[in-house]
């Protein structure tokens, strides 16, 4: 039996990077996974999971659209009949100096990283509550992907840091509200450090050079390596599973020690 066998999981931003790894790991551990993304290549990721013997399907989805969220959750209710796990992973990184950032860029950052997470939780909770038996440690689990940028500031990344800080505190509010309602649903945030994914193509302001993650990791990560999407997906699996049944509102940092200290 897999660690999330019998559960239905929805993973946003699952066409690439961390979301893709989350979908693959959850499916490998027995979940039936609904992958969503603005990129149609999520279809190939779902097909790969099915080919490997897992259960998965892909739906095109812009997380900033409330009507799309509604139709995806309605589709899950119809097709899978339940929703146990929501991984709010889709995200973008808008880089730029504060005095050069346009209000449109700022709003785009908040729309995807903050509104997208709010809409995900808002749209999914009714079906998750229906699914939940309010059995401590066995009910639904929401995992929001924040960042170490949600724990501290960074030059050139003010909008991104602000958005990820919002995800961190929204997570705690969801956790407390669900606890207050005694619905058994837990909500935790994950804070990755330097993880090798295409997002780094977006976050090198004022430069055409791609970010050299190996060089950055050698300098800034105590364990002296960059992370891989699976490093995050394994932690998401734990938070999605009943093994973390007594954890809620927690912020789990997965960064090779980067925010702990320097060596």
Ligand X SMILES: NC(=O)c1ccc[n+]([C@@H]2O[C@H](COP(=O)([O-])OP(=O)(O)OC[C@H]3O[C@@H](n4cnc5c(N)ncnc54)[C@H](O)[C@@H]3O)[C@@H](O)[C@H]2O)c1
Alpha helices (H) along the chain: 17-28, 42-51, 66-79, 103-110, 116-131, 158-180, 213-220, 229-240
Is position 90 an interface residue for ligand X (rule: CB under 6 A)? yes
Is position 91 an interface residue for ligand X (rule: CB under 6 A)? yes
Going residue by residue from 133 to 162, which x/- string records binding to ligand X, judged by CB under 6 A? Answer: ------------x-x---------------
Residues whose CB falls within 8 Å of the CB of residue 206, separated by 6 or more in sequence, listed in order: none
Ramachandran angles phi, psi of 155, nearest 5° = -65, 145
- The least CB distance from residue 44 to ligand X, in Å, is 12
DSSP state of 196: -
Answer yes or no: are the C-beta atoms of 101 and 158 closer than 8 Å.
yes
Q: Which is nearer to ligand X, 134 or 215 (CB)?
A: 215
Number of residues that bind ligand X (CB under 6 A): 28
Closest CA to 129 of 80, 189, 184: 184
Is position 24 an interface residue for ligand X (rule: CB under 6 A)? no
Q: Which is nearer to ligand X, 139 or 239 (CB)?
A: 239
- Look up 160 and say whether it is catalytic: yes
Tokens 């066998």 belong to residue = 5
Going residue by residue from 55 to 84, which x/- string records binding to ligand X, judged by CB under 6 A? Answer: ------xxxx--------------------
Identify the three-state secondary structure at position 98: helix
DSSP state of 194: S
* Window contacting ligand X (CB under 6 A); options: 8-16, 44-52, 97-105, 121-129: 8-16
Is position 12 an interface residue for ligand X (rule: CB under 6 A)? yes
Among residues 69, 160, 200, 238, the one annotated as catalytic is 160
- The least CB distance from residue 243 to ligand X, in Å, is 22
**If you write DSSP's letter for every residue of 110-161 in order, what string do you get?**
HIIIIIHHHHHHHHHHHHHHHH----TTTS-EEEEE--GGGTS--TTBHHHH
Going residue by residue from 190 to 209, which x/- string records binding to ligand X, judged by CB under 6 A? Answer: --x-xx-xxx----------
Ramachandran angles phi, psi of 35, nearest 5° = -100, 135
Is position 28 an interface residue for ligand X (rule: CB under 6 A)? no
Q: Which residues are catalytic?
A: 160
Binding site residues, ligand X, CB under 6 A: 12-13, 15-19, 37-39, 61-64, 89-93, 112, 145, 147, 192, 194-195, 197-199
């Amino acid at each position: 039996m897999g660690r999330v066998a019998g559960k239905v999981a929805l993973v946003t931003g699952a066409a690439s990077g961390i979301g893709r790894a989350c979908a693959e790991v959850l499916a490998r551990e027995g979940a039936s996974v609904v992958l969503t993304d603005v990129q149609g290549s999520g279809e190939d990721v779902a097909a790969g999971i099915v080919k490997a013997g897992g259960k998965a399907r892909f739906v095109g989805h812009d997380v900033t659209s409330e009507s799309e969220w509604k139709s995806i959750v309605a589709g899950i209710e119809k097709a899978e009949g339940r929703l146990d796990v929501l991984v709010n992973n889709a995200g973008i990184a808008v880089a730029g100096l504060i005095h050069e950032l346009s209000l449109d860029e700022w709003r785009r950052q908040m729309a995807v990283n903050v509104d997208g997470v709010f809409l995900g939780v808002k749209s999914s909770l009714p079906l998750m509550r229906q699914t939940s038996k309010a059995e401590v440690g066995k009910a639904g689990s929401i995992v929001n992907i924040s960042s170490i940028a949600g724990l501290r500031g960074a030059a050139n990344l003010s909008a991104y840091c602000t958005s990820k800080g919002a995800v961190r505190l929204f997570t705690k509010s969801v956790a407390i509200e669900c606890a207050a309602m005694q619905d058994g649903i837990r909500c935790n945030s994950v804070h990755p450090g330097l993880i090798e994914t295409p997002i780094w193509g977006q976050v090198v302001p004022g430069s055409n050079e791609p970010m050299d993650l190996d060089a950055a990791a050698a300098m800034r990560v105590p364990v002296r390596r960059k992370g891989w999407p699976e490093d995050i997906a394994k932690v998401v699996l734990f938070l999605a599973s009943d093994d973390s049944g007594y954890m809620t509102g927690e912020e789990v940092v997965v960064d090779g020690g980067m925010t702990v200290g320097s060596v």
